[in-house]
Chain A
Amino acid sequence: MAKGDLERIFAALERSGARYLVVGGVAVVLHGHPRFTADLDLVLALDPANLRRALDALSRLGYRPRAPVSLDEFLDPATRQRWIEEKGMTVLSLSSPAIPTTEVDLFASEPFPFDAAYGRALRADLRDVVVTVASLPDLIALKRRAGRPQDLEDVRILEAIERELGRDE
């Protein structure tokens, strides 16, 4: 069976050896709640070597920033900080003509201490590739902070899933 768009992206990231965490709607689906999302939200470890690996992998899939900037500019911490301060940027949105139905959003700063969250992450086995997904508590905390109606609805459901999983233990 042909790989879906998301599997292709995850496989490319795995091949690159990049450290990343899936957050956002795709993480909600993988944790066990069926809800629609067109975006893939990623938190990358922002050290230069890791960023380079991840950006190269995404670039090979045709991903480019939607804004008129280059992917390489995202590598520079001072530039990212300027975008955050001057443009209020939270994520850099990428699109690819090869994968038009999946936009990738990269967090411009780590929304939680990355290494600790990476250690707690869910390793979701998709048969040919293993995806690293922010843990339920980390995802809930992130969504509570974001605080938009969709985030708060996700929090309500993720907490119900947490209770459900707790009952099984």
Chain B
Amino acid sequence: MSEAKSESGNDEQHREQRRAWLRLTYLQRLEWLEQAKRFAARALEAARARAESDEPQR
């Protein structure tokens, strides 16, 4: 019973998130994606730099 309630709570939460997203302008949606890409690019760059600094020195 509590699981069923929890699933229904999750569904409602997803619906509310979806409604919130649909209230954004197209420009805001695109800006979210651009920010996510910049964040991913920075994280990738940092991971590369860490990997290079971890390489054993010859």
Binding site for B on A (CB under 8 A): 4-7, 26, 29-30, 32-34, 36-38, 101-102, 124-127, 131, 160-161, 164-165
Please give me the residue from chain B that is nearest to A33 by CB atom. B21
Shortest CB distance B20–A (Å): 10
Bitwise, B11-48 to A at CB < 8 A (1) or not (0) is 00011001101101011011111101110110000000
Please give me the residue from chain B that is nearest to A10 by CB atom. B30
Please give me the residue from chain A that is nearest to B32 by CB atom. A34
Shortest CB distance B15–A (Å): 7
* B: contact size bracket: 20 to 34
Binding site for A on B (CB under 8 A): 14-15, 18-19, 21-22, 24, 26-27, 29-34, 36-38, 40-41
Classify the secondary structure of B's interface with A: helix
Inter-subunit contact A165/B22 (CB<8 Å): yes
Q: How far is the CA of A30 from the CA of B22 in the complex (A)?
A: 9
A-B contact pairs, 9 of them (CB 8 A): A6-B34, A29-B32, A36-B33, A36-B36, A36-B40, A38-B37, A125-B27, A160-B18, A164-B22
Shortest CB distance B35–A (Å): 9
Residues in B with CB closer than 8 Å to A29 are 29-30, 32-33
Inter-subunit contact A5/B29 (CB<8 Å): no
Residues in B with CB closer than 8 Å to A36 are 33, 36-37, 40
